[in-house]
Amino acid sequence: MFITFSFLLLLSLAPDDPVADKLVSEALQKTPELEAARAALEAARRRVEPSRTLPDPMASVSYQTDERGVMLSQPLPWPGKLELAARASASEAREIEVGPLNRAALTIEARVRTVWYDLALARALDRLIEERRETATQIEATTRNRYAAGLAVQQDVLRAQVELARIDELKAEQRAAIASRLAELNRLLGRPLDTSAELPPIAPLPPPQTIVEGVLALSPEVAAARQGIETGRLRVDISKKNFLPDFVVSAGSMRSMWQIGAGISVPMWINKRQQNQLAEAQAQLAERTAESDVVARELELRTRERIAQLQSANDVATLYREKVIPLDELSYESALASYQSGKVPFITVFDAMNSLYSDRATWLARLADAAKWRVAIDEAR
């Protein structure tokens, strides 16, 4: 499992983030969800050896006139039955290993990384609010100076002070968001977290078809479905073996003699038992084969949808960084200069400032979205 999961990490689309990588490794060692999956795998592996072991012998005591005897009997399945049963049990264990166990690991990784980037976004927005407070404070001071000089009205001063109070409200909400994200990470890690988080920049993507092929090749659900087909084939082979008889050998002793015997089971109810068992196994194999195709198609659809969302987040983030925010900055500087020269009303300045910081917050949100969509594509594997 650990080799398989390490291979998954090597092909990850998640942003290069050593701190997040370390947190993921730590969570994988501590999370109870992964321990539960490992326990389920261990339980499945423990079924392999009993499957290839002979049935328990039977001991009996007999009486004949005034003599007593002891008889031991040992059932012997038709050659090959036990080995097929062991292979089927091993295949079922492999289904858990490549499916639920790897899925649990990927889910934990995705949860840690997603919360990590939510925390990074919350802290980035918190810093942005502080910048907004400094700007609003400067505007409020400018307004008071103009009012003192008789160049502005009291309403402008009051409006600036109201804006500062609203920024305090945003600050309180952001502190709560940071505390919530930290609490979630602490639960996943089982310890308090005090490290800083940064949003990763936009990064180029491989071609969508390459991503889809990689996801299909590494998906735990696809791997489990394929292994399920192998299990189904083994179950069909076992059902065919059930048409053959089993044996029993026995040996015993009475006071003055030994008794040795052999028997054979007679498949008398083939039409009612063995034929239906074979038909059931064949139907289950057909079901698993069809499900394997369904899983692959659904996974491809889900991956392409996530790629589209990731590309959209990248495009929007780039648009805001290269066009929208620079224009907002020019608009704000122009509005402030025009207000100071008495050419525009005070409200124009605050409209420009609010647009600037709102668009910067949108840009940060799209950066976080892009990082989390990368994580979501990895989780789909």
Output the CA angle 163-167-171, nearest 5 degrees: 170
Q: Supply the pLDDT for residue 85.
A: 95
Q: Supply the pLDDT for residue 255.
A: 67
Q: E-assigned strands of the chain?
A: 58-64, 67-76, 247-254, 257-264
Q: Supply the pLDDT for residue 9.
A: 41
Q: Would you tell me the crossing angle of helices 102-148 and 325-340 to the nearest 10 degrees?
A: 10
**Rounded CA gap, 216 and 378, in Å?**
11
Sequence-distant (6+) residues with CB within 8 A of 148 are: none
Query: Is-contact 137 60, C-beta < 8 A?
Result: no
Q: What is the mean pLDDT of the chain?
A: 89
Q: E-assigned strands of 147-292?
A: 247-254, 257-264
Rounded alpha-carbon distances, angstroms, from residue 78 to 83, 245, 249, 265 = 10, 6, 13, 10
Q: Supply the pLDDT for residue 5.
A: 41
Q: Supply the pLDDT for residue 10.
A: 43
User: 328-335: long-range contacts (C-beta < 8 A, 24 or more apart)?
Assistant: 328/352, 328/355, 328/356, 328/359, 328/360, 329/356, 331/355, 331/356, 332/356
Model confidence pLDDT, tens digit, residues 318-377: 999 999 999 999 999 999 899 888 888 888 888 899 999 999 999 999 999 999 999 999
Q: Supply the pLDDT for residue 192.
A: 81
Give, rounded to a whole angstrom, the gap between the first and last alpha carbons of the chain. Answer: 15
Model confidence pLDDT, tens digit, residues 275-333: 999 999 999 999 999 999 999 999 999 999 999 999 999 999 999 999 999 999 999 99
Q: Supply the pLDDT for residue 162.
A: 87
Name the class of domain 2-380.
mainly alpha
- Over the chain (381 residues), the average pLDDT of each successive run of 10 is 41 82 88 87 94 90 74 92 95 94 92 94 95 90 83 82 89 93 88 81 90 91 95 95 92 78 88 93 95 94 95 96 96 90 85 94 96 92 75
